[in-house]
Amino acid sequence: MQNASYGHAWKRHDGVAPCLLAGWRLVRRMAGVRLRLRYPFWVVDYAFNQLEEVRVGARGRPWHRRAPRTAHLYPPGTAFWERYPARPGTLSQCAYVAFGGGEAAGLGGLVHPRARYGRFLDPEGALGALIAEVARIGHEEREAGFWKAQAAFCALVDRLQRSEPLEDETRRLRSPAPAAEASSLVRATDAYLAGHLAEPVALPELAERLHVSVSTLSHRYRDETGETPMGRLLRLRVDLAKALVVRGQPLKAVAEATGFSDAFHLSRTFKRLEGVAPREFLRGLRPLRRPGTAK
């Protein structure tokens, strides 16, 4: 296999954070090569089969052997070095994504303060597959593929955020738990609740409709979902309230549509579940005005 690389660097999309800037998949002959790198943006650098050693932060820091299926997260301005063994014919297979706005995605919390980077073990290769997908989309669709590649990149950020800490700068990507199919009781309960959001719902009446006891309904539903039927009902009502508030409906009308006795009852429950009142929630969705713009 000859040297090969593919990917794309996109034009910056202002207002998008985090925002994908570039994605590349690289296959290169690197025998005996030594590199010093410093990027002005965030980078997730991934090794598929690399055997190089890496050091981060300063020349006096120790070198570390990098294992296959390992990703490094570098904040902007981080200096790091790579050196490759002098083995003729050795192919380095790697990939990377560059992006802005890592702070907005909370990635700063995944960077070890002393090591100055984050190391992620990816035993199933899921992270590598996402970076390769970003590079493929860029190679095939160029600028037109930005939003498709951005979606794959956001999935990558989600996997990083869900990783579990091991020691120092090292974390491990979790295997996604298989989605359990809801039982017929849970499905029937959810269907009834969703169809009666504006009406009074009593647990005994619901249990009678489903031909189970109140105790059976409560325990089985909690065991499967982690919440009570009445807790799920409140969450569904508040979710609907969010949608109606965003559409500009007054709180009195929203309360009537979501089964609350009045706007005060709605606001109190909304704040208990969401941490903010409905009007504060709506204000948080509006873009901040820049200085000098009209009100």
| pLDDT at site 285 | 76
Question: What are 116-161's pLDDT values in tens digits?
Answer: 999 999 999 999 999 999 999 999 999 999 999 999 999 999 999 9
pLDDT band at 179 (very low <50, low <70, confident <90, very high): low
Question: What are 74-112's pLDDT values in tens digits?
Answer: 999 999 999 988 877 778 899 999 999 999 999 999 999
Residue 65's contacts (CB-CB under 8 Å, 6 or more residues apart) are 51, 53
Cα–Cα distance between 53 and 30 in angstroms, integer? 12
Pairing of strands 118-121, 170-172: parallel
Question: What are 11-56's pLDDT values in tens digits?
Answer: 999 999 999 999 999 988 888 889 999 999 999 999 998 778 999 9
Q: Which residue has the higher pLDDT, 157 or 292?
A: 157
Fold of 184-285: Arc Repressor Mutant, subunit A (1.10.10)
Q: Which residue has the higher pLDDT, 253 or 90?
A: 253
The half-sphere exposure of 136 on its side-chain side, counting CA atoms within 13 A, is: 7
Q: Which residue has the higher pLDDT, 225 or 288?
A: 225
Q: Do domains 4-172 and 184-285 have the same CATH topology?
A: no
From the list 125, 124, 108, the residue with the least C-alpha distance to 116 is 108
Mean of pLDDT values over 203-221 = 96
- CATH architecture, range 4-172: Sandwich (2.60)
Per-residue burial over 186-195, b if 16 or more Cβ lie within 10 Å, else e, is bebbbebbee
Mean pLDDT comparison of 4-8, 94-98, 172-176, highest-scoring range: 94-98
Residue that has been written with the tokens 């309360």 in this structure? 255
Give domain limits for the chain. 4-172, 184-285
Answer whether 0.75 is exceeded by the pTM: no
